[in-house]
Structure 1
Amino acid sequence: MNVRLNGFRRLGIAEVLLGLTICGPALAAEPAGARPNIVLIVADDLGYADLGCQGAKDIATPSIDSLAAGGVRFTNGYVSCPVCSPTRAGLLTGRYQQRFGHEFNPGPPARAEPHFGLPLTEKTIADDLKTAGYVTGMVGKWHLGYQPKFHPTKRGFDEFFGFPGGAHSYVDAKADPANLIYRGTTPVDEKEYLTDAFAREAAAFVARHAKERFFLYLPFNAVHSPLQAPDKYKERFASINDPKRQTMAAMLSAMDDAVGAVLKELRDRGIFENTLIFFISDNGGPTPGNASRNTPLSGFKAQVWEGGIRVPYLIQWPGRVPAGRVYEQPVIALDILPTAVAAAGGSVPADRKLDGVN
């Protein structure tokens, strides 16, 4: 499938990969018996130019960069909104969030409208992959409704570790009594730096389900405010003089380590070669707020200039996706659902209108 935007043809991800592949079958041609595990990693408020593979000189991100080196980096990757929750609604449904009235962020947990969340009429990528026989897990930030009916385990996920809100202290699990850390539906008094805790839980999910087909959704809250990082990460960036940039760099480095922990677990379990990995940010960097950089783009988070909606966008699937390629044709976060479901050998009912394309 394809769509036309402003007079030009936008290819689906599978078509892009088919066009880039020199040897071996394209993503869409993967035999059903070799269906991949699927990992979807989302950074929060990451600037377009904050990764090494995106041109950053002051922040080393070797684990995330390895996804670009081993896969495809899309230079014109977009999200469907310049702020957190609507982007996630679009990402998880493959549909523009305006179709179902989720074009705004919910308020803070204590003041949010109780009935505001991802509408129960919408199916998620987790629903689709669960139907296809996958074990589904989420570790990280939800931000799609606080009421029990909106809980991730009611939206297709078998397992959940994270928080329901849009932001969270990295160092105090109980900082906001209305936005606690949960394992499933049970609050936990997490003691680790939150990004490290997400690394631990994500790697543990991979270990538990290494002999099954699984989908892991890993939406970090890094590098969203509050700007907090342990000294062990800040010490890596003593050369950065701007305190705000230094802390953001430390938070990003912790997230890169977390990605590395997941990749290591995949390798240690012998399943790395058959794992399809997506990496994006939920929106552009809020440059004034966290010293992120969207160079050379204009604008930042909450704006519909390029800096608000054009994001790092990486895909890796060893042996199936060509390594080290850079592609300039536009793609969007909405494309991830139909692409992942197709790779999993699943399908989306014909009467469910998707805006993303495979």
Structure 2
Amino acid sequence: MDRPNIVLINCDDLGYGDLGSYGSTINKTPVLDRMAEEGVRFTDFYVASPVCSPSRGALMTGCYPPRIGFGSFDGSRVLFPGQGIGLNPDETTIAGVLKDAGYATKIVGKWHCGDQKEFLPTRHGFDSYFGLPFSNDMGRQVDSNPSDHTENAEARRNRPPLPLLRDEEVIQEQPDLRALTERYVDEAVRFIRDNTSGPFFLYFAHMYVHLPLYAPVGFVDESENGDYGACVAGIDWATGVVLTELKRQGLDNDTLVIFTSDNGSRLDNQGGSNGALRGKKGTTWEGGQRVPCIMRWPSKMPAGVVRNHLTTTMDLFPTLASLAGAQIRSDRTIDGMDISSLMIEDNPSASPRDEFIYYDENDIEAVRDRKWKLHVRKGGHDIHELYDLESDIGESVNLFDS
């Protein structure tokens, strides 16, 4: 099999019900809906954590967060600016594996696996980096309500400015976040144009739809879902520009494009939706960890297919390595599994994965085995709840005692 170019698009806090192909009737996502029609849409696709940093670390390494020291961070659930910890430079990442196999590698957008130089993307297999090292809410909040003089509001306004990095250097402080996605798209397009001879790996990690929302002005008036809908439309537009550029360069058939999210929506009455799923970002209910995933590779993958097989972002590591003919170090235990058969075959057999563990920091809170999900712990307390996810996606009927 010819080695594909790879574009991995990862959104921030995009919920299971935020796209038209996943049931949204309020957000406009024509590009992504068409991508689902032209590729494979996964219904049971999970992230390894319901919050940012551990989810992204798992995506990069193919490992559950506790295995790579990403269960918690000095008592915090995610990494914060200035912490002297991050993804260990000795870890093997998908970018590093692909780089060793001859791929050009670039990340555009949010990293959130450590903001000190030794933890930045350029130390983890990426040739180049353009983006924010952590979440957009961790910098100075210049749009905070000026009439709000509470201690928390003043603290947000007085934070250090948000840094925009190129490789390992800060090139701008407090960039205009309403225009940042457009700058990300420009970087992505330039990278594609510079690597038409391939192969390349582009990791496009959106700022959207993490709060606070900095809606792109051009989409606000047409949104039926306020600023949130405008941000989702911005994601859809950006995806369309990337797909169009691939076609323009004659790379469309040779490029695998993967679209997903780092965790579920936080809801918070801001416009996000996890569809029929229970729970939200930060929880180990389905709404926290089951996310959209759409894949498209015209020359190899079937079109208009829906897969209900159990799959995870950790599976992308061994899958992409396999498709690229890359070698994974034998001294590493990888929790991900090769799901290329689910992507490429018309009628694949059962998923190579039967089980999935739901972690809250370093604690196991639930386990899924095929269609069954058992909750054993929540908020530091033992519980006993069992759900049939095939018939009860909303986890509403506890079958433990029956």
Task: Answer yes or no: is 1:201 the counterpart of 2:183.
Answer: no
Q: Is the 8 A contact 1:139 1:161 kept in 2?
A: yes
Task: Answer yes or no: is 1:236 the counterpart of 2:222.
Answer: yes
Q: Is the 8 A contact 1:85 1:166 kept in 2?
A: no
Task: Answer yes or no: is 1:182 the counterpart of 2:182.
Answer: no
Alignment of 1:287-298 (within 5 A): 287-288=267-268, 290-298=270-278
Q: Which has the higher contact order (CA 8 A, sep 6+)?
A: 1
Distance 1:51 1:321, change over 3 A: same
Structure 2 counterpart of 1:70, from 38, 59, 63: 38
Offset of residue 178 of structure 1: 5.3
Alignment of 1:340-351 (within 5 A): 340-351=320-331
Distance 1:333 1:320, change over 3 A: same
Q: Is the 8 A contact 1:77 1:312 kept in 2?
A: yes
For 1:59 and 1:335, how far apart are their aligned partners in 2?
29
Task: Answer yes or no: is 1:108 the counterpart of 2:80.
Answer: yes
For 1:306 and 1:321, how far apart are their aligned partners in 2?
27
- Bigger Cα displacement from structure 2, 199-208 vs 305-314: 199-208
Letter in 2 for 1:186: E
Distance 1:167 1:120, change over 3 A: same
For 1:176 and 1:325, how far apart are their aligned partners in 2?
47
For the pair shown, which has the larger CA radius of gyration, 1 or 2? 2
What is the TM-score normalised by the length of structure 1?
0.84
- Bigger Cα displacement from structure 2, 62-71 vs 145-154: 62-71
Distance 1:298 1:48, change over 3 A: same
Q: CA offsets per residue over residues 110-137 of structure 1, 9 Å max, x none?
A: xx432x1012221110000001100000
The alignment-based identity, stated in percent, is 40
What is the TM-score normalised by the length of structure 2?
0.75
For 1:194 and 1:170, how far apart are their aligned partners in 2?
16
Q: Is the 8 A contact 1:160 1:182 kept in 2?
A: yes
Structure holding more helix per residue: 1
Structure 2 partner of 1:227: 213
Q: Is the 8 A contact 2:140 2:158 kept in 1?
A: no
Equivalenced residues, count: 317
Secondary structure in structure 2 of the residue aligned to 1:290: coil
For 2:269 and 2:71, how far apart are their aligned partners in 1?
22
Letter in 2 for 1:221: M
Secondary structure in structure 2 of the residue aligned to 1:276: strand
Q: Is the 8 A contact 1:42 1:279 kept in 2?
A: yes
For 1:121 and 1:153, how far apart are their aligned partners in 2?
13
Q: Is the 8 A contact 1:170 1:195 kept in 2?
A: no
Letter in 1 for 2:83: E
Q: CA offsets per residue over residues 158-180 of structure 1, 9 Å max, x none?
A: 011001112257997x9964531
Gaps of 5+ in 2: 143-156, 339-402
Q: CA offsets per residue over residues 160-210 of structure 1, 9 Å max, x none?
A: 1001112257997x9964531112223234557111111111111111111
For 1:171 and 1:83, how far apart are their aligned partners in 2?
21
